[in-house]
Amino acid sequence: MNTIPSDNSARSSTGWKEHLVRSGLEANLARSGIPQEAFWERFGAWTGTLEASGYPGELLERLMALVRPGDSVLDIGAGAGAYAIPIARVASRVTAVEPSAVQCTRLQQNVENARLSNVTIVRSRWEDMQPSRVEPHDLVLAAFCFQMHDIRTALDAMCRVARRSLVLIHADRHDLRETLMEVCGIEPGPNYKYIEAELRAMGQVPDVDIVTRTYRVPLEMQLDIFRYNPGLTVAQCDSLREYLRSEGRLLTDDGQTLLERRIDTAFIRVTP
């Protein structure tokens, strides 16, 4: 289990909000003038490559070990169903909460393609749902969806509707973190340590494991992602490309330039 850093900034809801406002997904898109739905439209073009690289991989394996036949599962920020679809093949029913219209449409199509009839899609931000009107579920999942300014209230609501387990999946660090700061002046978004600190302040005892994923991704696709989030300019992408080349980070396979990546992700389990 990882320890919480000693700095006080990682111990308060205020610190989370201030960090999110500076460098969260919504802030990055706003700085670049990119509408959120345009980001999710583009995200669909990256999904196949991300899945081919092994995502969600071990994260999904760990999650599925907690899902029992007959369970009801609440998936907050379900996206296009990377977790909801495999869960629904085991659980009795899945409630998928997703704010993006684009992602809801993809999720509905994926549910139909999988011939599943036990997935209910709710288009909403989690913060806009009334906890008293959300039915408790055996397992509650929230993965990479923490664009929530009032993180304490959001986490408290999740704990309240989780009968047996709450699973939170959020970023720890990645191999380009320091490079993006050094070459492009980009601050990384808030990592899981804020969330862990908030849970402990609420009296919860989170169990945290760091899951590491290594993979190769086409360089130009990675740069395309970075143009949206964290919002690199063309000039910054050019600088990053040259830096990676000079550092020997690039590989060539079948005529395609690839970048090796390492992503560390926190898998947090809470028993409310």
b/e map of 50-59 (b: 16 or more CB within 10 Å)? beeeebbeeb
Q: Can you give the pLDDT at residue 231?
A: 94
pLDDT exceeds 50 at position 5: no
Percent of the chain scored above 90 by pLDDT?
88
pLDDT exceeds 70 at position 28: yes
More confident residue, 79 or 8: 79
Q: Can you give the pLDDT at residue 1?
A: 32
pLDDT digits (tens, 9 = 90+) for 161-194: 999 999 999 999 999 999 999 999 999 999 999 9
Q: Can you give the pLDDT at residue 9?
A: 41
Q: Can you give the pLDDT at residue 11?
A: 53
Kindly state the average pLDDT of the residues 86-114.
98
Rounded Cα distance between 82 and 24, Å, is: 22
